[in-house]
Amino acid sequence: MGACMKPPHLAIVTSKCNGHTLYTNIHIYKEKFALNKMSTVGQQISQGMGYLHARGILHKDLKSKNIFIEKNNKVVITDFGLFNFSKLYNRVGNGLSIPRGWLCYLAPEIMRSLRAHQKYEDEELPISKESDVYAFGTVWFELLCGEWPFKDQSPESIIFQVGKGMKPSLANLQASQDVKDVLMKCWSYKPSDRPDFITLMKSLEKLPKKRILARSPSHPLNLSRSAESVF
């Protein structure tokens, strides 16, 4: 890595990412991850995010499009700290142009802060280490289910449900309790109830290996407010 700190030419130089994004593997190639690969990917994301958080750096936009899978399943996290809410405003400036799937990564406290026809600076939104953890939960859901939560639902519906603490049911997902627990802990309604990334990494290290998860196309249809009622 390198950096130019001499104004006005500020820049960061990083290594080139080889391979595909996690988004491409999941949503384009429809790859079904064995649990051992899923766990390895999750551990590396948690390790990288834990490193950033330990140095006071928030990602702000953790999602499968910002995670690359290189050879030998090496994970590279990109675009950390670069998110700017102003990029989402449409040309007219009276609304947001919401990328597909983006809302699914936003924590409830961020959803509740959004107001129609209102412009935001990043510091006005409750973006935090805990909201990064929530976003990781959505990445974990993508690995588990091969799609985003709240599939084919309108932005208004997603904002309402997440803001109220409603979660897609995992009742039809054939996975062990500890696999589901990782998701539900990350998706805890209260930020203080979410684990940090070091704790997540330790939980992922304990998951069983060598199994491909069975997915049901009907699993997102049922919604729940609590982790206890989805199993």
Helices 177-186 and 129-145, interaxial angle, to 10°?
Answer: 140
- Give the N- to C-terminal CA distance of the chain in Å, as an integer: 45
Q: Retrieve residue 140's tokens.
A: 């974990």
By C-alpha distance, which of 115, 114, 128, 109 is closest to 188? 109
DSSP 117-142: T----GGGS---HHHHHHHHHHHHHH
The three-state (H, E, C) secondary structure of 175-191, written as one string: CCHHHHHHHHHHCCCCH
81 vs 57, 66, 106, CA distance in Å?
7, 12, 15
Q: Retrieve residue 112's tokens.
A: 């509740």
Region of 101 (left: φ > 0; alpha: ψ -120 to 50; beta: rest) is: left
Catalytic residue among 61, 132, 152, 193: 61
61 belongs to the catalytic site:
yes
**Which residues are part of the catalytic machinery?**
61
